[in-house]
């Protein structure tokens, strides 16, 4: 039993959902209770997808247990096929479904559905989201790919590859794919299939037509790529093209696999990062101490960018991807630091506190930690939040990705610089919040409201900043206390409106009644 406050990864069936949602005509029937339907919002709210994930939940209840939960599953699978007409189906159980042991795979076989049905065994009590995504993709490839026609190729045809690994709810997967497809096509390579993102089931049957595979996200695509190598002798790439140098390495690796000339391929290299990093404005980036945490792929790649392309100093790194612990430890050795392998965010926080970096590159979790500690931070890996799906084109892979990374890594530091300036001038009377607003006489720091002191007039020094005409208006104690109960993010507006309302009516004091009169006045 593990005490968890926040988690980096969801359960493995959420990984399976990422595959199903990425594809166009695959449906997932999940034996799960109603509460598990929360996972839909990850895709519709966070990623802003326009369609509900193609997932049918059986939503069994306590009263169904022991009687007809398997019946429920079969009905759900039959109905889902009839309603959604998918080209293939995956079936499985969430953590609770696993415990009631209904065997969705076996049950669905008895239904005789007219489409391929791939059963998933995702152990919820030992595995996690990325593993679940990798296993699901592997099972789909393994089941479907052998049914495709054997590779046949004209002697003069261009070399071809598949791109494996991008999913729904991935960190910048959508734009990475665009970037890398463009790069490969510019090299003269035909992209046969991209999967699972936007793929159709029949695309999986065509996988074996390609000469080799490009693995963009090893956490998700490695098992499938290894199987394709064993089964169809398709080699696959090991370099993840994040950063200028890694992208160049990637080009070399791909040129080699495709039998192309390396040098003419490298001539494609075009990024602003090298010059931006050399321009003198970037001098202040030198030796900035950074800490990285995230999935293994992004942490390893970003550490290289930070150290060798931005001129930072990597002082620590780590991952929650235990499956890749060895790779991350090897990477840490390059920068003379230790790797933190954990999925406990409290340990990550403790590490950040101990190392006192000047910048954190992490996930949404580290963003919150860094915010609390006052350290600049950029998000470089899942778990993601809605702001990690920007409207603009912003890959992190390839040469445009390197440009994006330069901006991403510099941006919080400029913010950091501003904060630094604010700190420097903290004691200046105009910045010093303890001195109170400048329209109040110096030295008369108003006392905060005390329980006994209900009716005493008080100024709230933090928010009462508009002087002159409002100088005269006094907040009575209980109105002031009431104001404090209003959520902080609207409190300032409530205060301003109430003061405006009182001023317009020539009131000298604001009572609780005034507060609510004003509220109703402005309510619209």
* Whether the Cβ atoms of residue 160 and residue 207 lie closer than 8 Å to each other: no
Active site includes 433? no
**Which tokens sit at 394?**
């912003």
3-state secondary structure of 400: helix
Q: Which range in 76-84, 149-157, 283-291, 464-472 contacts another protein by CB under 8 A?
A: 76-84
Q: What is the DSSP letter of 446?
A: P
**Which tokens sit at 368?**
């919150």
CA–centroid distance for 225 within its chain: 24
Q: Interface with another protein includes 95 (CB under 8 A)?
A: yes
CA-wise closest residue to 406 among 282, 522, 301: 282
Q: Interface with another protein includes 36 (CB under 8 A)?
A: yes
* Whether the Cβ atoms of residue 6 and residue 344 lie closer than 8 Å to each other: no
Q: Which range in 112-120, 226-234, 400-408, 510-518 contacts another protein by CB under 8 A?
A: 510-518
Cα–Cα distance between 62 and 57 in angstroms, integer? 15
| x-marked contacts with ligand SF4 along 5-44 as a string, rule CB under 6 A | ----------------------------x-xx--------
CB of 57 to another protein, least distance (A): 5
Q: Interface with ligand SF4 includes 106 (CB under 6 A)?
A: no
Say how many residues touch ligand SF4, by CB under 6 A. Answer: 5
Which does residue 482 touch among ligand SF4, another protein, none (CB within 5 to 8 A, set by kind)?
Answer: another protein
| x-marked contacts with another protein along 426-465 as a string, rule CB under 8 A | ----------------------------------------
Q: Which of 24, 25, 44, 334 binds another protein (CB under 8 A)?
A: 44
CA-wise closest residue to 104 among 84, 80, 131: 80
CB of 64 to ligand SF4, least distance (A): 14
Catalytic residue among 281, 344, 427, 469: 281
Locate tokens 């993840």: which residue?
240
Phi, psi of 234 (to 5 degrees): -95, 115
Q: Is 230 exposed, middle or buried (0-12, 13-18, 19+ CB in 10 A)?
A: exposed
SS (H, E, C) 324-387: HHHHHHHHHHHCCCCEEECCCHHHHHHHHHHHCCCEEEECHHHHHHHHHHCCCEEECCCCCCHH
Question: Which residue's CB atom is positioned nearest to ligand SF4?
Answer: 35
Q: Interface with another protein includes 505 (CB under 8 A)?
A: no
Nearer to ligand SF4 among residue 35 and residue 287 (C-beta): 35
Q: Which of 24, 44, 96, 461 binds ligand SF4 (CB under 6 A)?
A: 96
Q: Which of 68, 71, 83, 153 binds another protein (CB under 8 A)?
A: 83
Q: Which of 65, 422, 424, 508 binds another protein (CB under 8 A)?
A: 65
Element spanning 474, H or E: strand 474-475
Q: Which range in 120-128, 212-220, 394-402, 417-425 contacts another protein by CB under 8 A?
A: 120-128
Question: What Rg do the C-alpha atoms of the chain give, in angstroms?
Answer: 29
**Which tokens sit at 311?**
């001129």
Which residue ranges make up the site for another protein (CB under 8 A)? 1-7, 9-11, 13-14, 33-42, 44-45, 48-52, 56-62, 65, 76, 79, 83, 94-96, 99-100, 123-126, 128, 364-365, 368, 372, 385, 482, 485-486, 513, 516-517, 519-520, 523-524
Active-site amino acid positions: 281
């Amino acid at each position: 039993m593990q005490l968890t406050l926040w988690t980096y990864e969801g359960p493995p069936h959420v990984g399976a959902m990422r595959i199903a949602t990425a594809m166009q005509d695959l449906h997932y029937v999940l034996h799960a209770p109603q509460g598990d339907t929360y996972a839909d919002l990850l895709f519709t709210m966070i990623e802003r997808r326009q369609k509900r994930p193609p997932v049918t939940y059986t939503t069994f209840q306590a009263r169904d247990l022991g009687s007809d939960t398997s019946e429920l599953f079969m009905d759900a699978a039959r109905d889902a096929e009839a309603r959604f007409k998918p080209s293939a189906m995956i079936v499985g159980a969430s953590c609770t479904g696993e415990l009631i042991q209904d065997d969705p795979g076996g049950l669905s076989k008895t239904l005789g559905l007219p489409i391929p049905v791939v059963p998933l065994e995702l152990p919820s009590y030992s595995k996690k989201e990325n593993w679940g995504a990798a296993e699901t993709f592997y099972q789909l490839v393994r089941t479907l790919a052998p049914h495709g026609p054997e590779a046949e190729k004209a002697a003069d045809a261009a070399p071809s590859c598949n791109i494996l690994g991008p999913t729904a709810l991935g960190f910048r997967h959508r734009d990475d794919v665009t970037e890398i497809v463009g790069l490969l096509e510019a090299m003269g390579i035909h992209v046969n299939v991209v999967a699972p993102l936007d793929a159709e089931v029949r695309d999986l049957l065509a996988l074996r037509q390609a000469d080799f595979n490009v693995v963009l996200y090893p956490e998700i695509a490695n098992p499938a790529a290894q199987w394709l190598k064993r089964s169809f002798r398709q080699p696959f790439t090991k370099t993840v093209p994040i950063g200028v140098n890694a992208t160049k390495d990637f080009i070399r690796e791909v040129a080699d696999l495709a039998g192309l000339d390396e040098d003419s391929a490298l001539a494609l290299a075009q990024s602003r990062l090298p010059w931006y990093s050399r321009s003198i404005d970037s001098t202040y980036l030198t030796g900035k101490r950074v800490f990285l945490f995230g999935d293994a792929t992004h942490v390893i790649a970003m550490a290289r960018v930070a150290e060798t392309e931005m001129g930072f100093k990597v002082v620590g790194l780590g991952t929650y991807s235990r499956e890749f612990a060895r790779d991350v430890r090897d990477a840490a050795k390059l920068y003379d630091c230790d790797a933190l392998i954990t999925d406990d965010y409290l340990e990550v926080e403790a590490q950040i506190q101990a190392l006192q970096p000047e910048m954190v590159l992490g996930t949404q979790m580290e963003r919150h930690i860094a915010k609390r500690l006052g350290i600049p931070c950029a998000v470089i890996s899942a778990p993601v939040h809605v702001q990690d799906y920007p409207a603009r084109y912003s890959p992190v892979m390839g040469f445009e990705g390197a440009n994006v990374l330069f901006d991403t890594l510099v941006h919080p530091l400029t913010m950091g610089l501003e904060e630094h300036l604010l700190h420097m001038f903290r004691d200046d009377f105009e910045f010093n919040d303890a001195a109170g607003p400048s329209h109040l006489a110096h030295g008369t720091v108003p006392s905060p409201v005390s329980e006994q002191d209900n009716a005493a007039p008080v100024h709230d020094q933090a928010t009462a900043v508009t002087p002159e005409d409002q100088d005269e208006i006094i907040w009575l104690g209980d109105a002031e206390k009431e104001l404090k109960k209003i959520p902080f993010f609207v409190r300032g507006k409530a205060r301003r409106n109430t003061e405006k309302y009182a001023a317009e009516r020539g009131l000298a004091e604001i009572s609780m009644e005034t507060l609510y009169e004003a509220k109703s006045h402005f309510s619209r």
